[in-house]
Chains A and B, each alone.
Chain A
């Protein structure tokens, strides 16, 4: 509760005390936007942690070895993630549903275990030191980027491109028979998502002095997925709300902080069962009546008629 009281009574003090949390919330929100784009086009891709790694490593390696300024390095990281997404997307996006999810998880782990841990320039298992990181200054670009990206993606969902994504999500066959180039639009969503994730990875390196390969594995992937599911994917603000809520949660309920994953798991199950549209999204709770409840009700009614 102190958390909220401070947030409203003393926002400046709150900001100073929780700077790193705010930065992390911002990064997670950008990642949530990234996974939203693919969700919105009806694809469950779990490759974002991999693209994040590409963005992060590219930025740090360029910082270390090239004289280029930091913003250029970050953009290069994001663009390289986009480039890789084309190569990965061409074969993978033919898959659907669970198979797509598995293939993209395979990509994430193959990238981490196969490439990052085996190429000397990435520091292999030890990770990379990033001496030019600036934890306090790094928050500024995060807080500036987030609303801009959210706005851009929100606008994008209202263009013809966004309509095409919706059509594909609702019914791929119908979309393609209406002349929508399904593979193309899926690929566009995948690339945008990869660039956003790469950019988030690049931003994150700027608030950490260290790039750790274990950060970019399946755990991260599932965390990002959780933001989208809990927030809901009917519009771009759902995943952002999910990211903010779930990142701040361990701070809000400090006494449960060590049981954070239990709380996360319970929230995930409750949301997927009772509010499949997410926290943000129209409609009330989906009520599921257990069979014994229906039977009990059916038995009760004739008795009441007497």
Chain B
């Protein structure tokens, strides 16, 4: 059982990392960025591509992948969000344009085989692959009957440290203050001389870099890298997480991520894998119906 709880914490920290990026965009821009799961997938795919196809060591590959994912966030902002904002389109439009981008990202990877246009990025089409053995040293520790894999421990530490850093940045730095001001009231922030467009662009960069990192950690821990990992594994679960924690709330997303990991593992232990898959959506549905402000949000408007 303790082993299962440990697994819940590992998977929960990936959910949390993914959901933090999701909720950050919702909190600041008021739109749901459904391309976030595609960026998550590309984080894993780009790292895999650099390591397996281009022979790069893991660490620089991961750093490049995270940076590229951040740039993809800028692409989302400039292609799918900014034109709509210029026109004062309803937030629902942004939901749809980001779905469009997600379709494109997934289809590009899914259609990439050796010799095609994107053969340099991905060669396995719709199949799922794993990192070559020995990419990352993976010592196994035994501690009082528990088995802890080195990579999973590394993932846990990485995500916790990153979330703490993010929390610090948002609470105490200049850009974090600007971010919160924009989230609170866009017009007032503009009047105070904050360049709102630049804040939006940095939010997307930050959020997508975190999403890409979550993706590559997922690929490392679960050994499942393929065009559909974003859509099938985290897109809707990420939604469930940010709804659990209250839309737009970062601490809520972190707690929600661990909570969902725990709920899933418990459902798996108690009822088996079929129920495990559905439990996130049942939770999502229940929370939205009974407590739309999320489990931890006191008010709907409280953010970040």
Quick one: CB contact mask for A248-277 with B, threshold 8 Å, 1 for yes? 000000000011111011111100110010
Query: A28-36, A73-81, A110-118: which one contacts chain B?
Result: A110-118
Residue in contact with A103 in the complex, picked from B110, B275, B284, CB distance below 8 Å: B284
Q: In chain A, what residue has the closest Cβ to B86?
A: A288
Residues of B within 8 A of A44 (CB): 92
Interface size on A, residues (CB 8 A): 47
CB atoms of A97 and B92 under 8 A apart: yes
CB atoms of A229 and B96 under 8 A apart: yes
Q: In chain A, what residue has the closest Cβ to B282?
A: A110
Residue in contact with B96 in the complex, picked from A91, A258, A272, CB distance below 8 Å: A272
- Residue A172 is within 8 A (CB to CB) of chain B in the complex: no
Of listed A92, A260, A276, residue having the most chain B CB within 10 A: A276
CB atoms of B103 and A262 under 8 A apart: yes
Known: A110-B278, A258-B111. A273 touches B285 (CB 8 A): no
Q: In chain A, what residue has the closest Cβ to B30?
A: A98
Residue in contact with B107 in the complex, picked from A91, A124, A229, A261, CB distance below 8 Å: A261
Query: B139-147, B156-164, B232-240: which one contacts chain A?
Result: B232-240
CB atoms of B92 and A265 under 8 A apart: no
B260 CB to nearest chain A CB (Å): 13
A130 CB to nearest chain B CB (Å): 23
For the complex, give the distance between the alpha carbons of A115 and B235 in Å: 20
Known: A106-B285, A113-B277, A218-B236. A286 touches B97 (CB 8 A): no
A195 CB to nearest chain B CB (Å): 21
- Residue B231 is within 8 A (CB to CB) of chain A in the complex: yes
Query: B2-10, B76-84, B215-223, B250-258: which one contacts chain A?
Result: B76-84
CB atoms of B92 and A269 under 8 A apart: no
Residues of A within 8 A of B111 (CB): 258-259, 262
- Residue B281 is within 8 A (CB to CB) of chain A in the complex: yes
For the complex, give the distance between the alpha carbons of A107 and B235 in Å: 15
Residue in contact with A268 in the complex, picked from B89, B100, B239, CB distance below 8 Å: B100
Known: A106-B281, A117-B274, A267-B100. 20 other contacts (CB 8 A): A92-B288, A103-B284, A106-B239, A107-B285, A109-B280, A113-B278, A115-B278, A226-B99, A259-B111, A261-B103, A264-B100, A264-B103, A265-B100, A265-B101, A265-B107, A269-B100, A272-B100, A273-B87, A276-B87, A288-B87
Can you spell out 12 A-B residue pairs with CB atoms less than 8 angstroms apart? A98-B32, A98-B92, A102-B243, A103-B284, A106-B285, A109-B278, A114-B275, A259-B111, A265-B103, A268-B100, A272-B100, A290-B86
